[in-house]
Amino acid sequence: DVVMTQSPPSLSVTLGQPASISCRSSQSLRHSNGNTYLQWFQQRPGQSPRRLIYGISNRVSGVPDRFSGSGSGTEFTLRISRVEAEDVAVYFCMQTTYWPHNFGQGTKLEI
Amino acid sequence: EVQLVESGGDLVQPGGSLRLSCEASGFPFSRSWMSWVRQTPGGGLEWVAHINEDGSDIYYVDSVRGRFTISRDNAKNSLYLHMTSLRGEDTALFYCLGWFSPDNYWGRGTLVTVSS
């Protein structure tokens, strides 16, 4: 099975400053069809997760443009250009290239 | 408005069984892939099972294969997870997910507690 490793486990950021979360997979997530099925989810306290990014870098409709995704192969990054109070959450990466699908362990973002 | 409403979670003894249900609305259920994902008490997310639009393709995580069965009824816009031989490590909040590219939908979850 593919192993997804996120870092750091937690992150404390000052309002208005950038934040970056890394996600590494144990094998390339590039599918034989050329697509890479890596996505990012945000889970705010007391809420269900919601998807922010799919296909490495495609922002879901309604997600602020301060969120961006990048990477390829086995190394991926979620960046927040200027952290706001509403960004306090746990962030998960997830691969859906291979079965079983799986998640990273999560990164808790605090202000 | 998209809604996924899970039900069926309960306190059950080890070795027991439960059937979770998820009623969907607001998106084309019969043309959507569906999954169950669980969140452990420690906060981690684990993908559990997946079923395609007509139920012809089904996948499970190794830890539940042979014990859990995912199914769907497109006429009722409903997804199910039949769980048997439950163990303490199955204790989790179980979420129902819908996938209709490029959208992804989550329910609010139903709590399964396995304890004597």
Q: Cβ–Cβ contacts within 10 Å for residue A61, how many?
A: 7
- Window 5-64 of B, Cβ < 8 Å to A: 35, 43-47, 50, 59-62
Q: Mention every residue, 6+ apart, whose C-beta is less than 8 A from residue B111.
A: B9, B92, B93, B94
Average pLDDT over every residue of B69-85: 97
pLDDT in tens, B21-34: 999 999 999 999 99
Chain B residues closer than 8 Å to A94 by CB: 45, 47
pLDDT above 90 (res A71): yes
Chain A residues closer than 8 Å to B102 by CB: 54, 58, 60
**Average pLDDT across chain A, whole number:** 96
pLDDT in tens, B34-56: 999 999 999 999 999 999 999 99
pLDDT above 90 (res B103): no
DSSP letter string over B1-55?
--EEEEE---EE-TT--EEEEEEEESS-GGGSEEEEEEE-TTS-EEEEEEE-TTS
pLDDT in tens, A10-33: 999 999 999 999 999 999 999 999
* C-alpha of B15 from chain center: 19
